[in-house]
Amino acid sequence: MQKHHLLFNVKNKQRYSAPLLRHGPVRYRHQRPLKKANGVVMNKLSSAEKVPHALMYIDGKWIDSAEQDEIRSPATEQLVATVAQGSIPLADQAVAAAKKAFDSGVWRTMHPHQRAQILLKAADRLEARSEELAALASAENGMPIRIAGPGVIGVSVDFLRYYARLSSEYEYEVEGPRFGPHESEGIIRREPVGVCAAIVPWNVPLVLGMWKIAPALAVGNSVVVKPDRQAPLTLIEFARELEAAGLPAGVLNIVTGEGAVIGAHLAEHPDVAKIAFTGSTVTGRDVMRRASSTLKRVTLELGGKAPSIVLADANINLAVEGVIYGALAFSGQICESGTRLLLPRILHDEFVDRLVHRISELRIGDPASAETDLGPVFSARQKERILAYIETGKAQGATLRYGGTPLKGGDFEQGHWVQPTIFTNVTSDMTIAREEIFGPVLCVIKYDDIDEAIQIANDSEYGLSAGIWSEDYELALAVARRIQAGTVWINDWHALPPGYPFGGYKQSGVGREAGDSALAQYTEEKFIAVAPPKAPSSSPFVR
């Protein structure tokens, strides 16, 4: 089966030519003529500086606002773009537009093949802009361009095509077996739930947005998307391509703005039937609580603290490469990163030495350069948070084996830079082993036998993902079966093909995205029972 990696595959080092951030702000759209839709200029230049100004998309119109947010490069702090800032009235307009589109049936009752054609056309359009969008993805959140190309744009296009195909093939109405004394007919219908809200974080917005938008649209729902305030650009571009592909007005809407205001409002909105949220566990709890006021359908994709378990028979060289990829790709700012490294005592010292050596060789720098392995962390806040965890690790007695400080001077004078960091002598009770750091920090924990490794791996409030490094297929599979996590990779990491579910055990989430079962999360099942009209009623009152 073909693999679709969320991120850059270590074995497949593709290169992307992209505008260098250090050579000025990325100009992602105004290289083309400015375009008008319904009389509204979509991307005008920001008046403050010559960078693009992105607008919201509501009811098929591109909407500006008096207030705007600045999107700054995490690597240089240069202004990349400005974005119209949403508000509660605009969020209400977006929900009303989505509801109007849903009630009108313009999308819901369209033939599934026709819906699929529109989604496929949007996928082609995204693919045609791969390089430009990879540069944009990298510019807005600092993801190295080598990851952003195949890992974000390529994966997103694959998912869109996958759900377009499912839209055509989905069994919207099936007949069940006949039942009862009158041989009644049973029909199971699957209908779209209505207005779906998608709340998306900053780290991989296009993929995580796609996991919500594509299945929702495939089966006929309307959607309101709330991207992260500091990383909305790729999702806005996706809306542009859906519009160009022929998606009817109101079916997809994008409202920007502060999560605690706009996101929280959507979670409570009585006309939102379903909420799909990706973000931190703390915010996820708040979303679930708010959604409970109207008993919305809820999917939550939350935090993780994945164990990366090296078994004693593993090929050390390959495992070291895999562990680094699992833990440090995009500086560990991925929910399913393998941030707890479980090493058998007998391999520990040799493994750690090799790990340190290889990590010292990683190229840290401009995320827009095809040569870069590790870029900046997302924000000043994120950097401070990571450094605070490093101090806690030291204070609680872990050994700082590598890194542990911010990078300064030269190319690192501006932006948010933290050295990749390895802690050894970590125990499961330490804060750095329990809490999600969301940064380039790997915690090494020793174990003596496999039962102990599994006990440590499962000793977490999270259960999003895990990985096992071994050459013994049966043993690795036996361990995988005992791990409490929604995804377990054996000799791999970050592989997330469209046909497979993704989601968390325990406090890593509720429900699954990405596989075909995701469609069940965007539909209501209806049982229609048809008794023959002339059959006597089965009411006990009839004598």
Q: Is 301 a catalytic residue?
A: yes
Contact 522, 193 (CB under 8 A): yes
Contact 455, 461 (CB under 8 A): no
Should residue 196 be labelled a site residue for ligand NAD when binding is judged by CB under 6 A? no
Q: Which stretch binds ligand NAD (CB under 6 A): 64-72, 216-224, 225-233, 442-450?
A: 225-233
Write out the binding residues for ligand NAD, residues 169-188 only, by CB under 6 A: none
Should residue 291 be labelled a site residue for ligand NAD when binding is judged by CB under 6 A? no
Burial of 54-86, coded b for 16+ CB within 10 Å and e otherwise, reads bbbbbbbbbbbbeebbebbbbbbebbbbbbbbb
User: Taking Cα atoms as reference points, which of 226, 259, 254 lies closest to residue 240?
Assistant: 254
Binding flags for ligand NAD, 67-106, as an x/- string (CB under 6 A): ----------------------------------------
Shortest separation between residue 302's beta carbon and ligand NAD, angstroms = 5
Shortest separation between residue 527's beta carbon and ligand NAD, angstroms = 32
Contact 445, 462 (CB under 8 A): no
CA distances from 390 to 269, 303, 335, 402, 434 (A): 40, 19, 19, 11, 13
Catalytic option among 301, 336, 436, 513: 301
Should residue 302 be labelled a site residue for ligand NAD when binding is judged by CB under 6 A? yes
Among 241, 243, 301, 366, binds ligand NAD (CB under 6 A): 301
Q: Which stretch binds ligand NAD (CB under 6 A): 9-17, 122-130, 240-248, 283-291?
A: 283-291
Q: Is 335 a catalytic residue?
A: yes
Shortest separation between residue 197's beta carbon and ligand NAD, angstroms = 9
Catalytic option among 335, 336, 436, 443: 335
Among 260, 362, 380, 530, binds ligand NAD (CB under 6 A): 260
Among 220, 304, 404, 415, binds ligand NAD (CB under 6 A): 304
Should residue 390 be labelled a site residue for ligand NAD when binding is judged by CB under 6 A? no
Strand order in the sheet with 523-530: 173-175, 185-192, 523-530
Name the CA dihedral angle for 468, 471, 476, 477, rounded to a multiple of 10 degrees: 120
Among 80, 81, 91, 199, binds ligand NAD (CB under 6 A): 199
Q: Which is nearer to ligand NAD, 243 or 513 (CB)?
A: 513
Token pair recorded at residue 392? 């806690």
Should residue 440 be labelled a site residue for ligand NAD when binding is judged by CB under 6 A? no
Residues 390, 528: Cα–Cα separation, whole Å? 58
Contact 349, 401 (CB under 8 A): no
Strand order in the sheet with 44-45: 44-45, 52-54, 79-84, 68-72
| Active-site residue set | 301, 335
Site of interaction with ligand NAD (CB under 6 A):
199-203, 208, 226, 228-229, 259-260, 263-264, 267, 278-280, 283, 286-287, 301-304, 335, 436, 438, 464, 504, 509
